[in-house]
């Protein structure tokens, strides 16, 4: 089943309830539970991720991916001491963005590998590891580019609805190519890893998060922060990175980074525009840095 229409939901909803532990309709962009009525679907005040009880947007949101890719997707999610199999099916022919979510507790019915199948630890461990592999950068343990594409639009919607500022910081490690060329990829990896460790010290994973954008570039999202506060944090990160020394056979390398910030406050801006403008600010900052030799 790749997609389902609104009429099919009306006919099959009772059937779905017989097979699954929980069934619901959600708007993956606004993170709201939808209510089905004869005239169609309406948005409720219920936040979809409240289901998991940790008051945070899901790191690996399958429904936004299902909606964006227009196809059915499945994932395993650890929930307390259980493992929940989540199926997301995009709904067509509706005005609101809509996805059908189906939840099934598979803790005692799905097994992975060898071990004691009377316990759930193995399956919960695999569920956590699989989800992390999808959204985490293995070198830095920051989030990856996929996570940016899924999380940033949701944060923009939330900031727009609540009237809160949202700052996106685009970060570039200075002279990374020269480090790789002169000292080898091992030194380059250590430099990237060290910057990631510094960044992790300044984010909480809820309103603030960070990802490796690609290569020597990082993106930091600071929810609820205006430009002045975002700059204050970025200057602290920049200062901490400047204290790092990477030891090589030739010499001790000092690291530095350049950043650019774009803050959304009163006027909504798309994720692509926020990233592009923060990247542009970073480029201008780097141009000033090397022009003035600072």
- Which has more pLDDT, 184 or 281? 281
The predicted-structure confidence for 140-174, as pLDDT tens digits, reads as follows 999 999 889 888 988 898 888 788 999 999 999 99
pLDDT of residue 94 exceeding 80, the answer is no
Distance CA 149, CA 153 (A): 7
Which pLDDT band, with edges at 50, 70 and 90, does 262 fall under? very high
DSSP three-state, residue 220: strand
Output the pLDDT for position 265. Answer: 93
DSSP three-state, residue 29: coil
Per cent of the chain over pLDDT 90 is 40
pLDDT of residue 247 exceeding 90, the answer is no
The predicted-structure confidence for 127-144, as pLDDT tens digits, reads as follows 667 777 778 999 999 999
Q: What are phi and psi of 93, to 5 degrees?
A: 60, 40
Average pLDDT of the residues of the chain: 85
DSSP three-state, residue 27: strand
- Which has more pLDDT, 197 or 253? 197
State the angle between helix axes of 62-69 and 145-162 in degrees (0 to 180), rounded to the nearest 10.
100
| 216, burial (CB in 10 Å: exposed 0-12, middle 13-18, buried 19+) | buried
Output the pLDDT for position 189. Answer: 94
Active site residues: 216
- Which has more pLDDT, 293 or 222? 222
The predicted model gives 69-93 an average pLDDT of 84
Distance CA 222, CA 210 (A): 9
DSSP three-state, residue 258: strand
pLDDT of residue 1 exceeding 50, the answer is no
Which pLDDT band, with edges at 50, 70 and 90, does 119 fall under? low
- Partnered with residue 173 across adjacent β-strands are 257
Q: Can you say whether the dihedral through the CA atoms of 219, 169, 188, 141 is positive or negative?
A: negative
CA 273 to chain centre: 17
Query: Is residue 3 a contact partner of residue 72, using CB atoms and an 8 Å limit?
Result: yes
- Which has more pLDDT, 287 or 39? 287
Output the pLDDT for position 182. Answer: 85
The predicted model gives 19-32 an average pLDDT of 90
Output the pLDDT for position 137. Answer: 94
Query: Is residue 152 a contact partner of residue 262, using CB atoms and an 8 Å limit?
Result: no
pLDDT of residue 117 exceeding 60, the answer is no
- Which has more pLDDT, 36 or 287? 287
Please name the residue that has the structure tokens 């193995």. Answer: 122
The predicted-structure confidence for 187-240, as pLDDT tens digits, reads as follows 899 999 999 999 999 998 778 999 999 999 999 999 999 999 999 999 999 999
pTM for the complete prediction?
0.73
């Amino acid at each position: 089943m790749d997609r389902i229409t609104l009429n099919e939901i009306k006919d099959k909803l009772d059937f779905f309830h017989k097979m699954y532990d929980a069934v619901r309709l959600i708007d993956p962009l606004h993170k709201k539970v939808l209510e089905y009525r004869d005239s169609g679907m309406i948005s409720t005040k219920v936040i979809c991720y409240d289901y998991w009880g940790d008051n945070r947007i899901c790191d690996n949101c399958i429904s936004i991916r299902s909606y964006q890719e227009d196809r059915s997707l499945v994932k395993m999610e650890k929930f307390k001491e259980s493992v929940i199999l989540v199926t997301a099916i995009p709904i067509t022919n509706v005005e609101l963005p809509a996805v059908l979510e189906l939840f099934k507790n598979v803790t005692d019915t799905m097994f992975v590998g060898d071990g004691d199948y009377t316990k759930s630890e193995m399956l919960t461990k695999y569920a956590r590891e699989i989800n992390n592999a999808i959204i985490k950068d293995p070198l830095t343990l920051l989030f990856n580019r996929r996570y940016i594409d899924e999380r940033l639009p949701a944060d923009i919607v939330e900031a727009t609805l609540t009237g809160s500022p949202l700052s996106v910081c685009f970060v570039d490690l200075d002279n990374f190519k020269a480090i790789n060329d002169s000292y080898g990829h091992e030194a380059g990896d250590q430099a990237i890893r060290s910057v990631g460790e510094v960044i992790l010290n300044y984010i909480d994973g809820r309103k603030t998060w960070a990802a490796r954008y690609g290569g020597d570039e990082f993106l930091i999202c600071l929810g609820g922060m205006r430009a002045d506060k975002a700059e204050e944090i970025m200057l602290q990160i920049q200062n901490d990175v400047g204290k790092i020394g990477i030891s090589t056979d030739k010499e001790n390398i000092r690291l530095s980074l350049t950043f650019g910030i774009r803050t959304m406050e009163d006027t909504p801006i798309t994720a692509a525009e926020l990233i592009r403008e923060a990247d542009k600010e970073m480029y201008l900052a780097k141009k000033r840095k090397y022009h003035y030799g600072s």
